[in-house]
Copies of this chain bind each other. A is one copy, B any other.
Amino acid sequence: MASRILAIDIGGTKVLMGLLDERGRVHSRRQEPVAPERDAAACLEQIARMGMSLLDEAGVRPTELLGVAAAAPGPIDFAQGVVPATPNLNWSGLALRRELSAIFGRDVWLDNDANLAAWGEYCFAAPEGCRDMIYITVSTGIGGALIIDGALYRGVSGGAGELGHMVMIPDGPPCGCGGHGCLEAVASGTALSRELAARLAAGGAQHISALAPAGQTPGPPEIAAAARNGDPEALALLQPVTRYLGAAIAGLVNVFNPQLITIGGGIGLNMADLLLPAIRHAVSRHCFSLHQNHLHIRTTSLGSDIVLKGAAAAILRARA
């Protein structure tokens, strides 16, 4: 039995778990939805059940693993292994690293999900010689991480990289973080769904809702499909997303002068055809040529496994 790493990706809407090998390949996985209103105890119980089932099926005991790494959304006190507050889950002050270590009977590497995704991209997909990279994930929320001089940049208290909480409209819509007008509040999947719901409630967006499977609430996938058909309401719904995502990324390019910007997340990957041209246009419009000359902007090639792969990379780096 080859050595395995257990990787746990706790998102705003799902828990994804995988067993990976030393080369970052995923050998088996589990995914379940997590309701945003679930409390920490229920979520920990779910993680324990999913993890043990995955290990049992593979015939691996927790002590035989190369390591266990977990990703959680929102800012994390990395040094303490604590989730102080999470916009998209009802957790506050949760000692998640200690809780997970108790579940699996061994030390667990706990990090912000975007940090691990960025680390996965950097270790498994970044071009040779790249040292400075920004990762931005657009899904339920918007997160990000900075790789500076080949290392994850954490900041003074481990919270760096909260790109979704750049302030785009100082008195804009309220954000899950408690602030207002954050990028996440205007350009995330949550923002898209909120605006779509408002149009549906006003009797609009009929071409969008017609695309939803019977009995399902239309959401970002239907907006994207309608936008590809040229539906004006769908394009209007996407306008703030492309506008503020483009502005935020252009500003980051001027501030960071990175070599690579990688975009991931459900919205980022599934709407790449709609988002990337707008982002590239914003960069060409707002950024110094000095900053554009060495810049690549692309989506991750690691798909939805990016956090799992980053978790494996963190374990492998810690053991190296």
- Which residues of A line the B interface, CB within 8 A? 75, 77, 84-85, 131-132, 144, 146, 148-149, 153-163, 165-168, 170, 177, 179-182, 243-244, 246-248, 250-252, 254-259, 282, 285-291, 293-295
Chain B residues lying within 8 Å of A85, measured Cβ to Cβ, are 288-290
Chain B residues lying within 8 Å of A160, measured Cβ to Cβ, are 255-257
Copies in the complex: 2
> How long is the Cα–Cα vector from A3 to B259 in the complex, in angstroms?
40
Q: Are B156 and A259 in contact (CB under 8 A)?
A: yes
- From the candidates B165, B244, B288, name the one contacting A286 in the complex (CB within 8 A): B165
- From the candidates B144, B285, B291, name the one contacting A159 in the complex (CB within 8 A): B291
Q: Are A256 and B155 in contact (CB under 8 A)?
A: yes
Query: Which of A167, A246, A256 has the largest number of chain B CB atoms within 10 A?
Result: A167
> How long is the Cα–Cα vector from A244 to B255 in the complex, in angstroms?
16
11 contacts between A and B (CB under 8 A): A85-B288, A85-B290, A155-B258, A156-B257, A157-B257, A159-B254, A160-B255, A162-B255, A165-B255, A165-B288, A166-B255
Given contacts A155-B256, A257-B157, contact A288 B162 (CB under 8 A): yes
Chain B residues lying within 8 Å of A159, measured Cβ to Cβ, are 254, 257, 288, 290-291
- From the candidates B75, B77, B180, name the one contacting A285 in the complex (CB within 8 A): B180
> How long is the Cα–Cα vector from A259 to B250 in the complex, in angstroms?
25
Q: Are B290 and A84 in contact (CB under 8 A)?
A: yes
Given contacts A156-B294, A170-B244, contact A177 B250 (CB under 8 A): no
Q: Are B244 and A162 in contact (CB under 8 A)?
A: no
Known: A158-B257, A161-B255, A167-B286. 11 other contacts (CB 8 A): A131-B156, A132-B155, A144-B255, A159-B257, A162-B255, A162-B291, A165-B288, A168-B247, A170-B243, A180-B286, A181-B247
Q: Are A166 and B254 in contact (CB under 8 A)?
A: yes
